Amino acid sequence: MAETARKPRLGVWKFASCDGCQLSLLDCEDELLAVAGAVDIAYFPEATRGDVKGRYDLALVEGSITTPHDAERIRDVRRWARTLVTIGACATAGGIQALRNFADVAEYAAVVYARPDYIDTLATSTPIAEHVPVDFELRGCPISKHQLVEVIAAFLAGRRPVTPAHSVCVECKLRGNVCVTVAHGTPCLGPVTHAGCNALCPSYDRGCYGCYGPKETPNPAALGDKLQEQGMDADALRRVYRTFNAAAPAFREESERHGP
Protein backbone atom coordinates (compact mmCIF):
# COMPACT_ATOMS: atom_id res chain seq x y z
CA MET A 1 0.00 0.00 0.00
CA ALA A 2 1.32 3.41 -0.96
CA GLU A 3 0.25 4.94 2.38
CA THR A 4 2.23 2.51 4.56
CA ALA A 5 5.26 2.56 2.26
CA ARG A 6 5.62 6.30 2.75
CA LYS A 7 8.63 7.18 4.86
CA PRO A 8 7.90 9.33 7.93
CA ARG A 9 8.64 13.01 7.34
CA LEU A 10 11.19 14.58 9.70
CA GLY A 11 11.63 18.31 10.21
CA VAL A 12 14.23 20.18 12.29
CA TRP A 13 13.45 23.66 13.59
CA LYS A 14 15.66 26.17 15.31
CA PHE A 15 14.78 28.92 17.78
CA ALA A 16 17.25 30.84 20.02
CA SER A 17 20.22 28.49 20.29
CA CYS A 18 23.80 27.75 19.27
CA ASP A 19 22.94 25.14 16.53
CA GLY A 20 24.88 22.52 18.50
CA CYS A 21 22.00 20.14 19.22
CA GLN A 22 20.88 19.89 15.60
CA LEU A 23 24.56 19.52 14.66
CA SER A 24 24.42 16.35 16.80
CA LEU A 25 22.34 14.82 14.01
CA LEU A 26 25.08 15.61 11.46
CA ASP A 27 27.63 14.36 13.98
CA CYS A 28 26.03 10.89 13.80
CA GLU A 29 28.52 10.12 11.03
CA ASP A 30 27.91 6.37 11.26
CA GLU A 31 24.13 6.61 11.43
CA LEU A 32 23.25 9.67 9.33
CA LEU A 33 22.82 7.91 5.99
CA ALA A 34 20.85 5.11 7.70
CA VAL A 35 18.57 7.70 9.33
CA ALA A 36 18.20 9.41 5.94
CA GLY A 37 17.21 6.02 4.53
CA ALA A 38 14.57 5.42 7.20
CA VAL A 39 12.99 8.87 7.31
CA ASP A 40 12.35 11.59 4.77
CA ILE A 41 14.40 14.55 6.05
CA ALA A 42 11.92 17.05 4.63
CA TYR A 43 13.02 20.20 6.44
CA PHE A 44 16.49 20.70 7.93
CA PRO A 45 17.80 24.11 6.82
CA GLU A 46 21.17 23.64 8.50
CA ALA A 47 21.79 20.72 6.12
CA THR A 48 19.50 21.01 3.11
CA ARG A 49 17.58 23.36 0.86
CA GLY A 50 13.89 22.60 0.66
CA ASP A 51 10.44 23.90 1.36
CA VAL A 52 8.84 23.95 4.79
CA LYS A 53 5.30 23.24 3.53
CA GLY A 54 3.42 20.13 4.60
CA ARG A 55 2.80 17.91 7.59
CA TYR A 56 5.51 16.29 9.64
CA ASP A 57 5.48 12.98 11.46
CA LEU A 58 8.38 14.03 13.69
CA ALA A 59 9.49 17.58 14.48
CA LEU A 60 12.77 18.09 16.32
CA VAL A 61 12.83 21.53 17.91
CA GLU A 62 16.02 23.22 19.11
CA GLY A 63 16.19 26.55 20.94
CA SER A 64 14.11 28.67 23.29
CA ILE A 65 11.43 31.28 22.74
CA THR A 66 12.85 34.81 23.06
CA THR A 67 11.01 36.94 20.47
CA PRO A 68 7.32 37.68 19.75
CA HIS A 69 7.80 36.26 16.23
CA ASP A 70 9.20 32.97 17.57
CA ALA A 71 6.29 32.66 20.02
CA GLU A 72 4.02 32.63 16.96
CA ARG A 73 6.28 30.40 14.84
CA ILE A 74 6.34 27.55 17.38
CA ARG A 75 2.51 27.36 17.15
CA ASP A 76 2.82 26.74 13.40
CA VAL A 77 5.38 23.99 13.97
CA ARG A 78 3.05 22.36 16.51
CA ARG A 79 0.13 22.48 14.03
CA TRP A 80 2.25 20.82 11.30
CA ALA A 81 3.76 18.11 13.51
CA ARG A 82 2.24 14.84 14.68
CA THR A 83 5.02 14.29 17.22
CA LEU A 84 7.05 17.19 18.58
CA VAL A 85 10.32 16.47 20.42
CA THR A 86 12.36 19.26 21.98
CA ILE A 87 16.14 18.77 21.93
CA GLY A 88 18.59 20.42 24.31
CA ALA A 89 18.75 22.74 27.29
CA CYS A 90 17.51 25.81 25.37
CA ALA A 91 14.34 24.06 24.17
CA THR A 92 13.70 22.21 27.44
CA ALA A 93 14.79 24.85 29.99
CA GLY A 94 15.41 28.20 28.24
CA GLY A 95 19.20 27.84 27.87
CA ILE A 96 21.96 30.20 29.02
CA GLN A 97 20.00 33.07 27.42
CA ALA A 98 17.42 32.62 30.23
CA LEU A 99 19.81 34.52 32.50
CA ARG A 100 17.86 37.55 31.22
CA ASN A 101 14.89 36.23 33.24
CA PHE A 102 16.76 37.35 36.35
CA ALA A 103 17.73 40.74 34.85
CA ASP A 104 16.37 43.70 32.93
CA VAL A 105 16.40 42.79 29.23
CA ALA A 106 16.36 46.45 28.18
CA GLU A 107 19.57 46.98 30.13
CA TYR A 108 21.04 43.83 28.48
CA ALA A 109 20.16 45.14 25.01
CA ALA A 110 21.72 48.52 25.82
CA VAL A 111 24.97 46.85 26.90
CA VAL A 112 25.34 44.80 23.70
CA TYR A 113 23.79 46.94 20.99
CA ALA A 114 24.46 50.54 19.96
CA ARG A 115 20.82 50.81 18.83
CA PRO A 116 18.69 48.75 21.25
CA ASP A 117 15.63 50.20 19.50
CA TYR A 118 16.46 47.94 16.50
CA ILE A 119 16.13 44.88 18.74
CA ASP A 120 12.78 43.12 19.12
CA THR A 121 13.01 40.71 22.03
CA LEU A 122 10.93 39.29 24.89
CA ALA A 123 11.83 39.95 28.53
CA THR A 124 12.30 36.21 29.09
CA SER A 125 13.74 33.12 27.42
CA THR A 126 11.30 30.22 27.92
CA PRO A 127 11.24 26.51 27.06
CA ILE A 128 9.05 25.27 24.19
CA ALA A 129 6.71 23.42 26.60
CA GLU A 130 5.61 26.75 28.07
CA HIS A 131 4.15 27.63 24.66
CA VAL A 132 2.84 24.40 23.07
CA PRO A 133 2.32 20.76 24.15
CA VAL A 134 5.54 18.76 23.77
CA ASP A 135 5.55 14.97 23.27
CA PHE A 136 9.05 14.29 24.53
CA GLU A 137 11.92 16.34 25.97
CA LEU A 138 15.54 15.34 25.36
CA ARG A 139 17.89 17.11 27.77
CA GLY A 140 21.49 18.24 27.63
CA CYS A 141 23.72 21.12 26.60
CA PRO A 142 24.36 19.68 24.12
CA ILE A 143 22.19 16.55 23.81
CA SER A 144 23.88 13.17 23.52
CA LYS A 145 23.90 12.02 19.89
CA HIS A 146 23.36 8.45 21.10
CA GLN A 147 20.19 9.56 22.87
CA LEU A 148 19.09 11.41 19.73
CA VAL A 149 19.47 8.24 17.65
CA GLU A 150 17.51 6.41 20.39
CA VAL A 151 14.70 9.00 20.17
CA ILE A 152 14.47 8.64 16.39
CA ALA A 153 14.66 4.82 16.56
CA ALA A 154 11.98 4.74 19.29
CA PHE A 155 9.76 7.02 17.24
CA LEU A 156 10.12 4.74 14.20
CA ALA A 157 9.31 1.69 16.35
CA GLY A 158 6.36 3.42 18.01
CA ARG A 159 7.73 3.14 21.57
CA ARG A 160 8.90 5.52 24.31
CA PRO A 161 12.60 6.43 24.13
CA VAL A 162 14.77 4.90 26.87
CA THR A 163 16.54 7.88 28.43
CA PRO A 164 16.99 7.28 32.17
CA ALA A 165 15.89 10.15 34.46
CA HIS A 166 18.22 9.22 37.33
CA SER A 167 21.20 11.32 38.36
CA VAL A 168 24.75 11.67 37.04
CA CYS A 169 25.80 10.04 40.35
CA VAL A 170 24.29 6.75 39.17
CA GLU A 171 26.25 7.02 35.93
CA CYS A 172 29.46 7.58 37.91
CA LYS A 173 28.80 4.42 39.92
CA LEU A 174 28.02 2.45 36.76
CA ARG A 175 31.25 3.74 35.21
CA GLY A 176 33.28 2.89 38.30
CA ASN A 177 34.44 6.49 38.89
CA VAL A 178 35.87 7.56 42.21
CA CYS A 179 33.55 10.29 43.60
CA VAL A 180 35.23 13.67 43.00
CA THR A 181 33.39 15.20 45.98
CA VAL A 182 34.17 12.46 48.49
CA ALA A 183 37.75 11.86 47.36
CA HIS A 184 38.86 15.38 46.42
CA GLY A 185 36.25 17.77 47.87
CA THR A 186 35.45 19.02 44.36
CA PRO A 187 32.02 20.71 44.20
CA CYS A 188 29.78 18.60 41.90
CA LEU A 189 26.14 18.91 40.75
CA GLY A 190 26.02 15.18 39.93
CA PRO A 191 23.51 14.32 42.71
CA VAL A 192 20.83 16.63 41.25
CA THR A 193 21.66 16.47 37.53
CA HIS A 194 19.82 14.41 34.89
CA ALA A 195 21.79 11.49 33.43
CA GLY A 196 22.70 11.26 29.75
CA CYS A 197 26.36 12.35 29.49
CA ASN A 198 27.75 9.13 31.03
CA ALA A 199 29.24 11.10 33.91
CA LEU A 200 31.56 12.99 31.60
CA CYS A 201 32.94 15.74 33.86
CA PRO A 202 33.71 13.53 36.88
CA SER A 203 35.49 11.17 34.47
CA TYR A 204 37.74 14.14 33.65
CA ASP A 205 38.46 14.95 37.32
CA ARG A 206 35.97 17.80 37.22
CA GLY A 207 32.72 18.38 39.10
CA CYS A 208 29.47 18.09 37.10
CA TYR A 209 28.21 21.56 36.15
CA GLY A 210 24.61 20.54 35.50
CA CYS A 211 24.38 20.94 31.72
CA TYR A 212 21.69 18.21 31.49
CA GLY A 213 19.48 20.10 33.96
CA PRO A 214 17.66 18.74 37.02
CA LYS A 215 17.00 14.99 37.35
CA GLU A 216 13.56 13.71 38.25
CA THR A 217 12.73 14.69 41.89
CA PRO A 218 16.07 16.35 42.75
CA ASN A 219 16.96 17.91 46.09
CA PRO A 220 19.09 20.90 45.10
CA ALA A 221 18.63 22.59 48.50
CA ALA A 222 20.30 19.67 50.31
CA LEU A 223 23.14 19.78 47.82
CA GLY A 224 23.28 23.57 48.21
CA ASP A 225 23.87 23.14 51.95
CA LYS A 226 26.65 20.64 51.28
CA LEU A 227 28.29 22.98 48.75
CA GLN A 228 28.13 25.74 51.36
CA GLU A 229 29.93 23.47 53.85
CA GLN A 230 32.59 22.95 51.18
CA GLY A 231 33.15 26.71 51.19
CA MET A 232 30.98 28.11 48.41
CA ASP A 233 29.64 31.56 49.20
CA ALA A 234 26.11 32.72 48.32
CA ASP A 235 27.27 34.35 45.11
CA ALA A 236 28.97 31.17 43.90
CA LEU A 237 25.94 29.06 44.94
CA ARG A 238 23.63 31.29 42.96
CA ARG A 239 25.87 31.10 39.91
CA VAL A 240 26.41 27.33 40.05
CA TYR A 241 22.66 26.76 39.61
CA ARG A 242 22.36 29.57 37.04
CA THR A 243 24.00 28.31 33.88
CA PHE A 244 22.53 26.42 30.92
CA ASN A 245 19.37 25.27 32.74
CA ALA A 246 18.92 28.38 34.89
CA ALA A 247 15.17 28.56 34.21
CA ALA A 248 14.44 24.90 35.04
CA PRO A 249 12.23 25.27 38.17
CA ALA A 250 14.37 23.14 40.54
CA PHE A 251 17.57 25.01 39.69
CA ARG A 252 15.87 28.41 39.53
CA GLU A 253 14.33 28.04 42.99
CA GLU A 254 17.58 26.93 44.58
CA SER A 255 19.50 29.81 42.94
CA GLU A 256 16.93 32.26 44.27
CA ARG A 257 17.49 30.93 47.80
CA HIS A 258 20.99 32.41 47.55
CA GLY A 259 20.15 35.87 46.23
CA PRO A 260 18.12 37.77 43.63
Non-local CB neighbours of 201 within 8 Å, separated by 6+ positions: 188, 207, 208, 209
> b vs e for 227-239, b when ≥16 Cβ sit within 10 Å of the residue's Cβ?
beeeebeeeebbb
Q: Closer to another protein by CB, 21 or 138: give it.
A: 21
- The CB-based long-range contact list for 235-240 (8 Å cut-off, 24+ gap) reads 235/259, 240/187, 240/189, 240/209, 240/210
> Applying CB under 8 A, which of residues 8, 38, 47, 153 lies at the interface with another protein?
47
Stretch that binds another protein, among 128-136, 137-145, 168-176, 247-255 (CB under 8 A): 137-145
> b vs e for 5-18, b when ≥16 Cβ sit within 10 Å of the residue's Cβ?
eeebbbbbbbbbbb
Of 234, 170, 157, the C-alpha closest to 208 is 170
Binding mask 62-101 for another protein (x = CB under 8 A): ----xx--x------------------------xxx-xx-
38 sits near another protein (criterion: CB under 8 A): no
Rule CB under 8 A: which of 206-245 touch another protein?
206, 209, 211, 236, 239, 243-244
Rule CB under 8 A: which of 4-23 touch another protein?
14-23
Is the backbone of residue 230 left (phi > 0), alpha (psi -120 to 50) or beta?
alpha
Q: Closer to another protein by CB, 198 or 217: give it.
A: 198
Q: How many residues bind another protein (CB under 8 A)?
A: 65
Indicate the pairing of strand 9-14 with strand 56-62.
parallel
185 sits near another protein (criterion: CB under 8 A): no
Binding site for another protein (CB under 8 A): 14-24, 26-27, 29-30, 32-33, 36, 41, 44-50, 52, 66-67, 70, 95-97, 99-100, 103, 105, 107-109, 111-115, 118-119, 121, 125, 141-142, 145, 197, 200-201, 203-206, 209, 211, 236, 239, 243-244
